[in-house]
Structure 1
C-alpha cells in the first residue's frame, strides 16, 4: 500500500487513493458516461454551494495563500468552464476527477504515479516555491499553499497541478488527492467513494492510500 505523510493542519481533511488502468490512458478513449456528468445539472450524489466554496477557500488561506483570481481553487474554475461550455474530455482519469470536483465542490489533484518520486507528503509550501503548471511553461507561486510533495518538491495542489507529474497518454497508474476541509465533515470521504465507483465502472482498479503523520 502506498504511504502518504500529512503534516499537521487544523483545517485539512484529506482523502487519497491510487488507480491502476488496464491500458495506457491514451488507448482507453473518453467515457461517454463521464462526459454526460460534466454538466451542472447532471445527477450526482453531491452538490456544491456557498458553504463548500467558503470552507475550501478558508482551507487554502490558512497558510497565507490568497485563493482569488487566477489562484482560485480548481473546483471553482470547473464551474465556470462547464457553464461556458469550455471543458472538453481530456482522459479517463482527469474526466472522472473533473466530474467529482465539479459536483462535490472539492478541488482534486491527479498525478501520474510513475512520474512522481517517493516519498510523498502533504504540507504547506514555503515562501518562494514555484513550479510550471502547463506545457507553455507558466509558473504558479506556491508560497503558503497546501501542496503534495514528492522527492523533487511540490507537484500538485488544489489550484494547479505541476506539469512534470500530470497524466498523459502513457499513464497507467495515478494518485488522487482530494483536498477536503474539516468544516465539511465526511464530504471528502463521500466524494472519494463516488470517485472510486466511477473509475471502477470504467475498468480502473483503485486502492487505499495509507495516511500518516
Structure 2
C-alpha cells in the first residue's frame, strides 16, 4: 500500500515550486486510545525540553510563512501555520497530550518549526494528492463546526476534497480513539530540505518508540 499511497502525493508535491514534503505512514498495534504516549514524547511538549535534535529558528518561521504566501494565502493571525500555534500553546502552558500520533507530531513540529498534518488513513478515500485551494474551497476543522477558507493555501486532498493543510486539519479525517493507521505530511520550503529530513527521521524514531510500524519518504527521494 505504501507506494500507492505515497506516489500520488509526491508527484503532485513536486509540481508545486518551492515545496518539499516529508511523508510518514504509521500503523499502531492497538487503537490510539490503548497506545500510551511515551515519556520521550510527553517530556518534549515544552519549549525548554532537553536533548531534542532540532531547535526553533526564526529563519524557519519566516521561510514557512513565505511558502504559504506563494499562491496568495495570508499566514497571519488565526491563519498562521500550525507550528506557530504550538509555540503559543507551549508558552501558555496549554500544550497537553492528546494521543500518541498527535503528540509525536506536535513535538516534532514545535521544535522543528515545520507545520505537520495528520490524518486517519481509514477516514480518507484514496488517492491522496497535494494541491492549492480554490476560492470556493473550505472545510470544518473542529467539533464546533468552524470552517477554514482554503483559497491559495497548500493542502492535502483525498477523493472527497481537501482534508488537511499546514494551518488546520479537517475534522472529517482527524485521528480519534479508534485510529490504528495514520499519515503525516511535513510541509517545508524546499531550501530547508535538510531540516525536513532531520525532522522526518526524528518523527519516525518517536513513532517506532510508541510501537508503530512506520514508512517514510521525502519529495526529494
The alignment's TM-score, normalised by the length of structure 2, stands at: 0.92
Question: What does residue 182 of structure 1 align with?
Answer: 190
Question: What does residue 75 of structure 1 align with?
Answer: 83
Q: Which runs of 4+ in 1 moved over 4 A?
A: 209-212
Q: Does structure 1 retain, via aligned residues, the 8 Å contact 2:142–2:171?
A: yes
Question: What does residue 12 of structure 2 align with?
Answer: 6
Quickly say closer, same or farther: Cα 1:14–1:160, change in 2 above 3 A.
same
Please state if 1:194 is matched with 2:205: no
Give the C-alpha shift of residue 180 in structure 1: 1.0
Q: Does structure 2 retain, via aligned residues, the 8 Å contact 1:132–1:140?
A: yes
Give SS of 1:177's match. strand
Q: If each structure's helix is expressed as a fraction of its own residues, which one has the higher value?
A: 2
CA separation in 2, counterparts of 1:166 and 1:158?
A: 14
CA separation in 2, counterparts of 1:80 and 1:185?
A: 25
CA separation in 2, counterparts of 1:16 and 1:185?
A: 13
From 132, 142, 152, give the equivalent of 1:124.
132
Question: What does residue 134 of structure 1 align with?
Answer: 142
Give the C-alpha shift of residue 47 in structure 1: 1.1
Runs (5+) with no aligned partner, structure 1: none
The alignment's TM-score, normalised by the length of structure 1, stands at: 0.96
Question: What does residue 111 of structure 1 align with?
Answer: 119
Give SS of 1:103's match. helix
Task: Indicate the RMSD between aligned Cα atoms, in angstroms.
Answer: 1.4
Please state if 1:93 is matched with 2:89: no
Give the C-alpha shift of residue 193 in structure 1: 0.4
- Residues 17-58 of structure 1: per-residue CA shift (max 9 Å, x gap): 200000000111332321100111112111121100000000
Give the C-alpha shift of residue 210 in structure 1: 8.2
Runs (5+) with no aligned partner, structure 2: none
Q: Does structure 2 retain, via aligned residues, the 8 Å contact 1:124–1:147?
A: yes
Give the C-alpha shift of residue 208 in structure 1: 3.1
Question: What does residue 55 of structure 1 align with?
Answer: 63
How many pairs align? 212
Give SS of 1:184's match. helix
Give the C-alpha shift of residue 189 in structure 1: 1.3
Q: Does structure 2 retain, via aligned residues, the 8 Å contact 1:18–1:209?
A: no
